[in-house]
Amino acid sequence: MNHTTMPSLQERYRKTKERLEAFGQSHILTFWESLDDSRRENLLAQCETLPLELLKREIAASPETNTKSPFSIVDIQPVSIVRSHLLDTAKYLALGEKMISSGRVACCTVAGGQGTRLGWNGPKGTFPATPLLQKPLFQVFAESILAARRRWHGNIPWYLMTSPLNHQATQDFFREHNWFELGEKTVRFFAQGTLPSLSLDGKILLASHDSIALNPDGHGGAIRALAASGSLAEMQREGVDTLSYFQVDNPLVKAVDPLFLGLHTAHPESSSEVSSKVVAKRDPSEKVGVFCRLHNRTVVLEYSDLPAHLAEATHHDGGLIHSAGSIAIHAFSRDFLQRIADDGHGLPLHRALKKVASIDLSSGIVIEPTSPNAIKMEAFIFDAVPIARQSMVFETRRDEEFAPIKNADGEDSAATSQRAQSERAARWMESCGIKLPRDEEGGECSATIELSPLTALDAAELAQCANLPHNVAIGAKIVL
């Protein structure tokens, strides 16, 4: 915009105030008079991009979190699950490999979360994840992609979603590590959007006198952000039509899995729009989303939405009827994501009651709440699943592909994930005929093994590795 036509600060203030008043949110400007020009600029810039229409709809729908399941239990049916032992895997594998080598596949990792449970100071992808060398999560994925490129000779660009809160720190980290040998052009950062946190009566909260309390708009924000950043258009120009999607917290993920990609593209149960990997739930109370059928659509229900008696229902053999636990690994077609982005409605927003520090309007000071005081809204990527004409659900092995780092300790922590990484490497070594020390048949391996994806992406590739050890002592530490 030309400087002579740029509206003055006062003019922008007037318009913003009018707009905020119309939506009952003008309290955001409470401290305007006490701000200097640069802080006024700050606040206006945030106000001008507020999705007030959307917020109004959300607040009108229900000001508080919706804790009641919106689904009628009679509607919920089990989902059909594709399992590899019933398949002609060679055919799908060959197809997936061809997709990769012809440059049709990109990776997409969502790394914009705040990692509050882990309590790590910095982007979660910088967290030291591997059992011996403590390589950060980002490096594990980078090595997987590099190894896949070497093996299948595809380009495999990597789209990495950050949030405005960690965008700079994430980029700096990659630069400091020379993009983990992938090359600067391969790693493509795009920032997700944010949404304001609301008080329980639907008012936008302030983080300071000149800033709104914003939270990233959830992993579901990836679709809008991929479109808005020009990433989908870039993929189209480059001939990428399929995305391998995964989260930043699971170091066991196969970043590029040709079998899954081949199934996504050609299996009769897939419309090639979105496919998902699942693992059998550990037990009825495991807190993971569950794939089900609802009104003739495949959906993911949050664990709290699946009634207990359905969660506990079993087949004759004792297996859970609703066993398909979501592990947030998907294949998406680029066209499908573009269609959702173009639709304009976006994915539905979910609300969660959270503790959010915010400014008390009468005293002007920050209040650190001791109990949840705010509603955070987020979109979830799995809400794309029912939008697809048909959506394939493929079961994989938890011990091969899923060991997330979510918590500082206990379940799904670095300790449990590192054990799982080491155990997987141990199983692969044993399949190569190497004897490893175990307490008992089937018990835990007493050695700790760190296996880089650059050494082997699977057990068969490990078998070709020339320098595998043959005598492994109790408690040994092995880096491969």
**Interaction site with ligand UTP (CB under 6 A):** 110-118, 124, 161, 163, 192, 216-219, 221, 247-249, 378, 406
As measured in angstroms, the least distance from the Cβ of 339 to ligand UTP is 21
| Smallest gap from residue 135 Cβ to ligand UTP (A) | 17
Beta strands (DSSP E) in 15-174 are 76-78, 82-83, 105-110, 158-162
Q: Which is nearer to ligand UTP, 171 or 390 (CB)?
A: 171
Nearer to ligand UTP, 135 or 267 (CB): 135
Contacts (Cβ under 8 Å, ≥6 apart) of 24: 202, 203
Helix (H, G, I), strand (E, B) or coil at 36: coil
- Which is closer to ligand UTP, CB of 163 or CB of 448? 163
Nearer to ligand UTP, 219 or 264 (CB): 219
Q: Which residues pair with 329 in a beta bridge?
A: 277
Nearer to ligand UTP, 40 or 351 (CB): 351
Nearest Cα neighbor of 107 from 383, 332, 402, 346 is 332
- Position 117, amino acid: R
Question: From CA 377, how far away is CA 197, in angstroms rounded?
Answer: 7
Q: Nearer Cβ to ligand UTP, position 55 or 425?
A: 55
Nearest residue to ligand UTP, scored by beta-carbon proximity: 113
Tokens 């391996």 label which residue?
445
- What is the smallest separation between the CB atom of 222 and ligand UTP, expressed in angstroms? 7
Nearer of residues 379 and 436 to ligand UTP, judged by Cβ: 379
8 Å CB contact between 357 and 374: no
Query: Least separation, in Å, of the C-beta of 138 and ligand UTP?
Result: 11
Neighbours of 41 (CB within 10 A): 14
CB of 220 to ligand UTP, least distance (A): 8
192 vs 333, which CB is nearer to ligand UTP? 192
Question: Which amino acid is it at 116?
Answer: T
Determine how β-strand 76-78 pairs with β-strand 198-199: unpaired
Whole-number minimum distance, CB 238 to ligand UTP, in Å? Answer: 23
- For residue 320, the Cα-to-chain-centroid distance in whole angstroms is 26
Q: Which of 445, 437, 442 is nearest to 470 (CA)?
A: 437
How many whole angstroms separate alpha carbon 55 and alpha carbon 377? 10
184 forms beta bridges with none
The residue among 270, 223, 218 whose CA lies nearest residue 108 is 223
Q: Indicate the residue among 251 and 262 with the shorter CB distance to ligand UTP.
A: 251
In the 3-class helix/strand/coil scheme, how is 29-52 assigned residue by residue? HCCHHHCCHHHHHHHHHHHHCCCH
Cα end-to-end distance, the chain, whole Å: 56
How large is the C-alpha radius of gyration of the chain?
24
- Least distance from ligand UTP to the Cβ atom of residue 54, Å: 16
Which stretch of DSSP H or E encloses residue 335? Answer: helix 334-343
SS3 358: strand
Which CB, 111 or 206, lies closer to ligand UTP?
Answer: 111
Phi first, then psi: give them for residue 265, nearest 5 degrees. Answer: -85, -35
The CB-of-328 to ligand UTP minimum distance in angstroms stands at 7
Query: With contact defined as beta carbons under 8 Å apart, do 223 and 346 qualify?
Result: yes
Least distance in angstroms from the C-beta of 330 to ligand UTP: 12
Q: Give long-range contacts, CB 8 A cutoff, 24+ apart: 436-445.
A: 436/472, 437/472, 437/473, 437/474, 437/475, 437/476, 444/419
Q: Which is nearer to ligand UTP, 49 or 314 (CB)?
A: 49
Least distance in angstroms from the C-beta of 132 to ligand UTP: 24
Q: By C-beta, is 161 or 331 nearer to ligand UTP? A: 161
What minimum distance in Å lies between the beta carbon of 289 and ligand UTP? 11
We find the least distance from the C-beta atom of residue 93 to ligand UTP, in angstroms, to be 27
**Tokens representing 134?**
């403590």
